[in-house]
Each structure stands twice: as structure tokens, then as C-alpha cells.
Structure 1
Amino acid sequence: MTAVLSRQTLNRALLARQFLLRRAQMPVYDAVAHLYGLQAQAPNPPYLALWNRLDDFAPEELSQLITDRRAVRIALMRSTIHLVTAEDCLALRPVLQPAHDRGFAVTYGKRLTGLDLDTVAVHGRELVEARPRTFAELGALLAERFPGYDADALAPVVRTRVPLVQVPPRGLWGSSGQAAHTSAETWLSAEPSAPDPARMVLRYLAAYGPASVPDVQAWSGLTRLKEVVAGLRPRLVTFRDERGVELYDLPDAPRPDAAEPAPLRLLGEFDSVLLSHADRTRIISDEHRKRVFTVNGIIKATVLADGFVAGTWRIERGRDAATLRVEPFVQLTDAQRTALTEEAHRMLAFAAPGAKAYHVDAG
């Protein structure tokens, strides 16, 4: 008989694999590889994600990986920007190509009727490989070559058909810069791998499992993964959740007891742990999700209490001070409030190191 995993058990399994039950001691590169995609729509979320997950994380180490071209920022899962290792960039991008094609067709297809998109992609590749370009610059140059078509529809042709990485200083800690792009092949001096969706599923389970086929599809943006997962069944163990949905997992992956204590955590904006399942109730309730996911696509920074989203937080900077304000969704215990205050001061020291004073408003 297939074992049933409770929501609490799935929560603890996810937290363990995400290094959120206890911070890990490992090189930053190895952590980025294991986590298999850190949401990076903005420059700082990958740094906050690793601060939450690693002991003694130094942001300069991640910046150095980006500068050394061992880690890159690129549109991957769900066509959103992620930070991954160079190796995973070259392996993942070809697997995800169908999702990029589908998204482009829905959003821009009708605006480019009659245009040879292959020709646009070839010319766009030449432009970004000559030197990194912003999308605004790329679109303007393409519009000169292909008159009669909108620049803001032409640049996405290249983004869809050419693996484009964002080059530094974009994404470096404490730096700023527009998002300028070149091809992954040029930046990494290597060619993408042959698509291997089975390997992708196994890596996903290591970081986010146990999971259903819809979970893998929601994370990746791909469809029709049922056959891929079925082909892996001899290598996997199966469970069911409380609703009867079949879940797959790696045999030796951690599945802690549901009673395992979960420390309070302050997750940054866009944290991947909130975006990697079709059924996200293992980490956030449907009710609370409406207060975290905004209509304009922002995913707020969240408080985890006993493993689940229990509020949001933000940092407000004054002239000489920085204040971390919390909007709790639930009544926190005295112990949780104490832990929240301690973690908030640690976060302020990390995220606002130049402030002369720190304050915490726990709501």
C-alpha cells in the first residue's frame, strides 16, 4: 500500500532539501548547484536566498562566481530569470525551449505575422555577440533591420531563440547596472547540452521533492512530462498526498519526521521555495498566497514560522537607520517573536550594512 505523506511531512521534506531546517556548511557553488535555480528577477534575491540557507554566507563569493562566469543569470524555468551554475545553464536551457516557444507565441506571435523569425534570431545573435546589449538597444537595432515591426516584439524573438545571459555588473552584490545580454555560448565558451528532461526531473526532486507530475510542470513551465516521469519510475519511490495525488521521490532523499522543529526564517522576495509546486500549500496557504503574490508580479518577502508562511516583511531605510517591518498573518508565540527579532537584526546587518542604527517592528 502506498504511504500517505501529510502536508506537514511534505513541508519538512521541502525545508530540509532547501537548507531551511538548518543552514548548510558548503561552498556557495555547490549550494547554487543543489538548489537548481535561484529566482533572480531582481539582483538581490539570490543573495538573500543563500543567506537564509548557508552558514557564514559571504555575498562576495556569489559575486565572484558571476564575475568568473561559473554562475549566470538567464531566463529558464517559466521564462523567468534564474541564477544557476554555468553547467546547469547549458543543460537546462535546451530542455526548457518548448516552454519559451509557447510563451513567445502567446504573447508576441500575432504581432510578427509574416516575419521570418529565424532570420531575426540570427541577426540578433550577431548583435549581442558583438557586444552585450540591453533589450531596448537590441529591439531598436532590430527595428532598423526589420522595419514595420515593433522593437519591443523583436527583442523577445532573440531572447526566445538564443540563450541570453545577463552580464556583470548586473547581479553583483552592492553594484548596479542595466541588464545587458550576450549569448551563453559566447559568455561561457561552450555549447548547450542535448536536452535531457529525465535528468532535469531528478535534479528537481533532489531540491523540491517529493512532487507530482503537475508540480514538476508548474516549476519548469513545461507540459507533457508524465511520460518522462513514468520512464523514471523504476528509479523512484512513490507516495500519495492527503488528497490522493501520486508523488515521486528519490529513494535516499531526506524526508524528516513531521514533528521536526522548523526555525523562523525571513525569506527574500521571489524566493524559489514559493514558486516550485502546483500545490503550494506545503509552504503557503491559499489564503496567505493572495497577500504575498501581487497583481503586478511581485512576490513579497515572507516570514516562515513553524515552516509555513506567516507574514511578510520589508526594510525601510532612513537617513541613518534601517527598520525591518513585519506584517504578520497569524498570532505568533512569544518564542516566535523572540526568534523573529533576533533574525530581523541579523538580516538588517546583512542587507543594510551601512546603517548606523537598526530597528525592528514586529507588527
Structure 2
Amino acid sequence: MAVMSDRALGRATLHRQHLLEPAGLTALEMIEHLVGMQAQAPWPPYVGLWTRLRAFDHKDLARLLEDRSVVRLLMFRGTVHLVSSADCLALRPLVQRVIDRMYVTAKLTAAVGDPDAVADRGRRLLAEKALTPKEIGDALAEHLPGVLPRQLGDVVRARLPLVQVPPRAVWGVGGATRYATAESWLGAPLQAAELPAVIRRYLAAFGPATVADVQAWSGLTRLREITDAMPGLLRLRDEHGGELLDLPDAPRPDPDVPAPVRFLPDFDNVVLSHARRARIIRDEHRPHLFLRNGIVPGSFLVDGLVEGTWRADDGTVTVRPFNPPSDRVREQLAEAGEQLARFLAPPGAAVAVRFADHGQGVS
């Protein structure tokens, strides 16, 4: 059985993520290829698409949100993702039990009584119009005195597939979070996809991968019984002895193929979607990226590995390497950082790149 090193795994994943060479895809095609993009905050997916596509403008994603081609809702790992409308309807049912496990706890159930009854009442409310979380909780509390509005809102948000409607997440507009049910917003019912097909899509975007990797990405458990029954998968080994799964015709480039500097947004799935992340970040650097407050800041790749973090303020991109970069890498970071600053800043605004002290994450 062939063995792949961490470096080889990293190059394969970067190729499939279009982080070695930008892709000539549309924004919608890329979102579907990635099986969604984590979107805890509204703006990171814009950077995630910009760094992967040959041509991308803010309006490309804004238009998809406005015409309902894509939506933002709780999905994999119980986190907010940007997904295509088709994937919303097909994938949300698969991860519902993950969301229930994370959010509809025994303590919350004891407080609200019957979560299904609360969700049904919430569905009727949202059939009338999109509502903010506070409006949902307050309206439900009128019928369930003694229960905190926040708790009622939490049940509805978890039990129902609620999408955040525009202008939320529309670049240059923003707005308060307002929810509608996916079925009413998209005019179609949910219908769960076949799990083996979803696993194959994961491998196409993140593979080669172990079963534990698939579970880390999705939040689902007991997937080995599914993958063991899947025909046609390629079986490999990683350098630590773990069994890797892959699609036979998926690209696995040479480990020494050049990997250019790339800037990644906050919460990018390429750094979150494996149980072992040595293919993308060294163990000693993990504490600088996965912060105790749950924030995963924007990062940058050098030679295929996360080598620092960044943040943007008023046209200035501040780059904070984990270790002092070479002169050549510093020049590459400055050039790519200026391109990022121009993408984020208003047209014609002054931009700059600043290097901060190394060894710490951006605060």
C-alpha cells in the first residue's frame, strides 16, 4: 500500500483547494466544489474566493446571496457555512443530528419543554416574515411564559434550517441578522443527499483523508461503516500508519511542486477540516492559529504551510509571521499582502502592508 508523507498530503489538498493555481471557475462553482465555506463572520468567504479564483469581484458573491443561489446557515460541525442553495437543501438534513447534539442539550430541553413544539411554533412565525433572533425569542416567549426568549430562539435556530437573509453578508451593505426557513426562502423542500456521495465530494476537495478527517470536517460519527462499504475508493497510508481514502483519479502532485504565498481568511476550512492538520500547519504553530476564544484568524501559507496570521484595518494589512521570514519570502508577502489590501479597501483608497513582531498571532 502506497505511503504519503505529510508534505505530499499537503500538496494534494492545496491542489484540490485551488491554492497552488487559481481556478477559472465561477464563484458558485467554487463554493460547490468546496462543499461550502465556513462563514462564522460575513466577510471571510469573499477573501476565500478571491484567493482561489482567477477573477473574482465582491459583487459576484453579493449577487449570489441576493438572487438566493447561495445561503448562510448552520451546517458542518454546527458552524455557519456559506453553501449553494442546492447543497443547503441536500446537506443540512445530514448534519441535523450534529446540530441537535451540540445545541439542543438536556439542560435546554428541560428549560423549554418540548423542543419540537417550540420549533413548530417558530416555523409558523417565520412563515409570515424574516425575523431577528431577538424577535423570534420574544414572540415565542409570549406563549411560553417563564422560559427565557434566548433559549427559545436557540431551539428554533438549531431545530430548523434557518438561513440568514440579505442584506446580511452583502459586501458594502451588511445589516442585522434576520432568519427565514430554508424551505420558504428557497421554495423547495429539504431532501437528504446520499452520504457516500458527500464523502466523495469531501475527498475531491480535501483528500486524501482518513475516516477521522471526514468526521472532523462534518461533525458526523461512525462513518467507517459507510466508507468500508464504498466501492472504488483508493486505499493509501500516511507516514504515521493511518489509512487514507481517496478517489482513484484525483490529483496527487509531486511533494516538491512549488506552493506560492497565499492569504487565507478567518476560519478557512482548509485549516479546519482534518483530524490531523500536519499537512497544513506545524504542531508548534497550532496555538497561534487556534485561539482559546474560538477565533481562527486569517493566516497565510508559505511553501504550503501556515507560517503566520494577518488582519486588515483601514486599508492596512498587518502581517505577523510566526518566525522571521527570509528576504525573499518577506518580499512575496508584501506583494501578495498589497493585493489583498486592495481587494479589501474601497476603490482608490490608500493601502499598505505592515509587518508586526513575529512569534505571536494577530491580536
Shorter-chain TM band: over 0.9
C-alpha contact (below 8 Å) 2:19/2:52 kept by paired residues: yes
C-alpha contact (below 8 Å) 1:29/1:85 kept by paired residues: yes
Could you tell me how far apart the structure 2 residues matched to 1:57 and 1:37 are? 17
Shift in Å, 1:345: 0.8
Shift in Å, 1:211: 0.7
Shift in Å, 1:355: 6.1
Structure 1: gaps spanning 5 or more residues? none
What percent of counterpart residues are identical? 47
Q: 2:339 aligns with which of 327, 330, 346?
A: 346
Could you tell me how far apart the structure 1 residues matched to 2:71 and 2:106 are? 26
Cα distance change of structure 1 residues 195 and 356 upon mapping to structure 2, 3 Å threshold: closer
Look up the match of 1:283.
280
Q: Structure 1 segments of 4 or more deviating over 3 A? A: 105-111
RMSD: 1.4
Count of aligned pairs: 356
Q: What is the one-letter code of the residue matched to 1:120? A: V
Could you tell me how far apart the structure 2 residues matched to 1:101 and 1:10 are? 33
TM-score, normalised via structure 1 length: 0.95
Look up the match of 1:47.
46
C-alpha contact (below 8 Å) 1:340/1:362 kept by paired residues: no
Look up the match of 1:361.
354
Is residue 326 of structure 2 the alignment partner of residue 326 of structure 1? no
**Structure 1, 192-201 or 166-175: larger mean CA deviation:** 192-201
Q: What is the one-letter code of the residue matched to 1:312? A: T
Q: Secondary structure at the match of 1:82?
A: strand
TM-score, normalised via structure 2 length: 0.95
1:42-67 deviations in Å (ceiling 9; x for gaps): 11111000000001211101111111
1:180-224 deviations in Å (ceiling 9; x for gaps): 111100000001113521121111111111111111111111111
Cα distance change of structure 1 residues 108 and 307 upon mapping to structure 2, 3 Å threshold: farther
C-alpha contact (below 8 Å) 1:316/1:323 kept by paired residues: yes
Choose between structure 1 and 2: higher helix proportion: 1
Look up the match of 2:195.
197
Structure 2: gaps spanning 5 or more residues? 357-363
Is residue 63 of structure 2 the alignment partner of residue 64 of structure 1? yes
**Structure 1, 89-98 or 146-155: larger mean CA deviation:** 146-155
1:296-324 deviations in Å (ceiling 9; x for gaps): 2111111110010001111122xxxx221
Map 1:1-363 to 2 at 5 A: 2-106=1-105, 108-109=107-108, 111-112=110-111, 115-232=113-230, 234-317=231-314, 322-354=315-347, 356-363=349-356
C-alpha contact (below 8 Å) 1:104/1:156 kept by paired residues: yes
1:87-128 deviations in Å (ceiling 9; x for gaps): 111110011111011112437535426x12211111001111
Q: Secondary structure at the match of 1:191?
A: coil
Could you tell me how far apart the structure 2 residues matched to 1:305 and 1:95 are? 35
Q: What is the one-letter code of the residue matched to 2:234? A: V
